[in-house]
Amino acid sequence: MREMRTDGPILEVKNLSTYFIYRDRTVKAVDDVSFRVHTGEIFAIAGESGAGKSVIALSTLRLVPQPGKIMGGEILYWGQDLLRMSEAELRKIRGGRISMIFQNPMTSLDPVFPIGEQIAETVRFHKGIEKKGAWGRAVEMLQLVNMPDPERRADAYPYELSGGMQQRTMIAIGLSCEPDLIIADNPTTALDVTIQMQFLSLCRQIRSELGTAFVYITHDLGVVAKLCDRVGVMYAGRIVEEGDTVQVLTAAAHPYTVGLIRAVPKLGDRRSRLVPIEGKQPDLSSLPPGCPFAPRCPMAKEVCRKGEIPAKPVGDGHYARCLFADRVMEESKKSYREIGHV
Amino acid sequence: MSNHSASHRGDTLIEIKNLKKYFPVKRGVLVERHVGDVKAVDDISFKVKKGETIGLVGESGCGKTTTGRVITRLETATAGEVSFEGRDILSLEGKELRHLRRELQIVFQDPYSSLNPRMAAGNIVSFPLVTHNLYPGTQRDKRVGELMELVGLTRDQAKWYPHEFAAGERQRIVLATALASNPKFVFCDEPVSALDVSAQAQVLNLLRDIKAQLDITIMVVAHNLCVVEYLSDRVVVMYLGKIVEMAETDDLYQRPLHPYTQALRTAVPTVEVGKPATEIVLQGEIPSPLNPPKGCRFHTRCQAKIGQVCEGIEPKLVDVGNGHYAACHLVTGPSDEEMRAAGRVPDETRAAIAMAKRGEG
């Protein structure tokens, strides 16, 4: 196994902006986003659809489709800027040292090859291992992801597997070259809850056994609560709050985070009414000045609609882009003490 | 709204008896051979009470949606009975069936594919009125306006086309359409699973409000236990075509009896943190409904199973008090006849179950 470095962040995204440029408008899908991920850490990027979560994932490996363009910023992988690397250098990292798991396993796997072959192909390309050895490695990987009967299953075609097994195969491909970072883009949306549970515990197992770090993209704060160490909450292309998962979920400092938590039903709590977030998501091609959440925010004031809102530290490694972050946090803490959630 | 029927809240509105729905699997090109059945719903019985919201929950392939589709006559049953206000509805045809459809309405999962993009919202909502010839003449526009307001939209929005609405608002239009003909029963099939969190909360609240305002019975099917519990008075938990547990929502939350319900509960990711980690990670996959396991269908994944008892004898759904039903040998052991029929000595089997229970505690 490759020697693991433990110093410094494994991934540091600095001021990343990715825009989609059309003839008549520019959609700012990701706007000035910064975050860090350390070895063995599971970092969540959470938010609703259209917030720019997946574009961050694609930008990290320079896979943004046309007409998307990375406008600026740095993506440092062990201090090396992936945005300034040649395509050939990047190809070695992509799939080898950083791997990606997509949302829908059925469309990510090639339907005409057995899954063992698809894992072996990755190993042959990145590790230069000959055919037989690569096949052995494939079976080993399937075993690692708890695939039942791995020798036999390596010969199976994707359509012969259930959704959960397909997603395990994707992880097996992702893990086959011993990456130190896995970017998982909504990996469990297509899965049933009990199978999702297996997937989450597999991620935890991989992290603790191999020290792999994850960037875990999800729309489900429940998954964040169950799996992730830290979370960045995205809204309209920006990270509006970032911090330790427990901190963010028990003492949310941004009104959007509070809104997300209040909008989901809790088990065993039928009495309290859900509080939906009013209004709709802003058009990312013509964002209003100031805080992008201001039009939907229950506590927005005139100052919120002017100028950039800086990220304000509210705790140890806990930031929120809100002028009233302290007040929001106090209220969150209070309601957490009273009713058990924000 | 006037209510002519003499029935009251709490009376049985729909009764499902021994309902089965098998989908035949065929092979062969020239001569089709019947090679098996997908047992989507396999011998279930329950009652839907008038005025309640009943929730059906379970994972894919458990038969929850099929059950709803059979009740609303979108699928034909393989066997069993469904009666609506005491009348058998599975044999209705033609005019009578059309009449029935006015009473039983459906809200589908995806508000994008269930609205015709070329029709204005108002026309979509008035479609059932046209079909069933309700609210003729000038009353029709008035009714459409009322419905739009009922679901939290404005009268003017009746002129809008589906693409002009956000996802949550589209689901409101679907709901308005379902309510147009004053149905007695609305079947909501995964009403919020295609929506974002904020829109989800809007639709869930709306469903609760509508229920409080109208004299209506709702059946909601969802894979998310939180969603089902939030909406329902009573919950039915299904697994592989069978009902495994059924109870009042609060009762089910406080006292989940079936190991599957317990596992489902811990598997639902909730935003609460810092709770003691009593996670139950179920091993293995959901077996194929083409060839479900013998005995208890859940035994292949159950952590509490009692070897040959659960593998050999199918548990019956038994009332354990307060209308709380469970189908599990750990809750109510099999009867002596069932044990003998499975070739087991009753006393020994009972001892084995008692031992397993102690091991549990």
Provide ipTM, 2 decimals. Answer: 0.84
B307 and B210 within one domain:
no
Mean pLDDT, range B125-152, rounded to an integer = 94
Domain finish residue from B188, B217, B243? B243
A253 and A202 inside one domain: no
In this prediction, residue A8 carries a pLDDT of 78
Those of residues 141-160 in A touching chain B at CB distance below 8 A are 148
Highest-scoring range by mean pLDDT, A127-136, A318-327, B267-276, B351-360: A318-327
Confidence band for B174, pLDDT divided at 50, 70 and 90: very high
Q: In this complex, which of A148, A249, A275 lies closest to B271 when CB atoms are compared? A: A249
Average pLDDT on B160-177 reads 93
User: Contact A277/B263, CB-based, under 8 Å?
Assistant: no
Return the pLDDT at B271: 82
Mean pLDDT over residues B282-289, rounded?
85
Average pLDDT for A163-191: 88
More confident residue, A335 or B18: B18
B229 touches chain A (CB under 8 A): yes
Residue B360: per-residue pLDDT:
52
Torsion of CA B222, B223, B228, B233, to 10 degrees: 80
Residue range B231-252: average pLDDT?
Answer: 96
- Asked which of B188, B211, B243 is the last residue of a domain, the reply is B243
Mutate to test the interface with B, among A145, A197, A201, A341 (most CBs of B within 10 A): A197
Domain of A190 in residue numbering reads as 11-228
Would the pLDDT of A274 be above 80? yes
Question: B 207-226 residues with CB below 8 A of A?
Answer: 208, 223-226
If one counts every other C-beta atom within 10 angstroms of the C-beta of residue A184, the result is 26
Residue B77 reports pLDDT greater than 90:
yes
Between chain A and chain B, the number of residue pairs with CB atoms below 8 A apart is 128
Q: Is B340 domain-assigned?
A: yes
In the listed set A206, A228, A250, which residue is the last one of a domain according to the structure?
A228
- pLDDT > 90 in chain B, percent: 67
Q: Is residue B4 part of a domain?
A: no
Residue A158 sits in the same domain as residue A174: yes
* pLDDT band (50, 70, 90) for residue A149: confident
- Residue A233 above 70 pLDDT? yes
Domain shared by B72 and B137, yes or no = yes
Q: What is the pLDDT of residue B361?
A: 41
The minimum CA-CA distance between A21 and chain B, rounded to whole Å, is: 23
Q: B201 and A263: CB-CB below 8 Å?
A: yes
Query: What distance in Å separates the CA atoms of residue B55 and residue B42, rounded to the nearest whole number?
Result: 18
Domain total for chain A?
A: 2
Residues A155 and A212 occupy one common structural domain: yes
Residue B305 lies in a domain: yes
User: What is the per-residue pLDDT for B6?
Assistant: 54
Final residue belonging to a domain, choices B222, B243, B264: B243
- Give residue B23's domain range: 12-243
pLDDT score at B290: 87
Structural domain total, chain B: 2
Beta bridge partners, B52, equal none
Query: Which pLDDT belongs to residue A188?
Result: 86
Provide the pLDDT for residue A5: 52
A3 lies in some domain: no
Is residue A290 located within the same domain as residue A174?
no
pLDDT at A168: 86
How would residue B248 be classed by pLDDT, with cut points 50, 70 and 90? very high
pLDDT score recorded for residue B177? 96
- The answer as to whether A4 is a domain residue is no
Position B1 scores a pLDDT of 44
State the pTM of this model.
0.88
Mean pLDDT of B78-88: 95
Note the Cα B48 to chain centre separation in Å.
11
Concatenate the DSSP letters of all residues of B252-286 into one string. HHH---SHHHHHHHHHS--S--S---------SPP
pLDDT at B80 over 50: yes
Sheet holding B104-107, edge to edge: B104-107, B185-189, B217-222, B53-57, B234-239, B242-248, B325-326, B318-319
Nearest CA in chain A to B301: A194
Nearest chain B residue to A48 by CA: give it.
Answer: B196
Tell me if chain B has a CB within 8 Å of the CB of A190.
Answer: no
Q: Is the pLDDT of residue B272 over 80?
A: no
Measure Cα distances from B273 to A85, A107, A329, B253, B264 in Å.
40, 34, 17, 18, 18
A120 touches chain B (CB under 8 A): no
Query: What is the arithmetic mean of pLDDT over A23-39?
Result: 94
Q: What is the predicted pLDDT for the residue at B359?
A: 66
Domain annotation covers residue A1: no
Per-residue pLDDT at B54: 97
Check residues B209 and A190 and name the one with the higher pLDDT: B209
Same domain, B129 and B201: yes
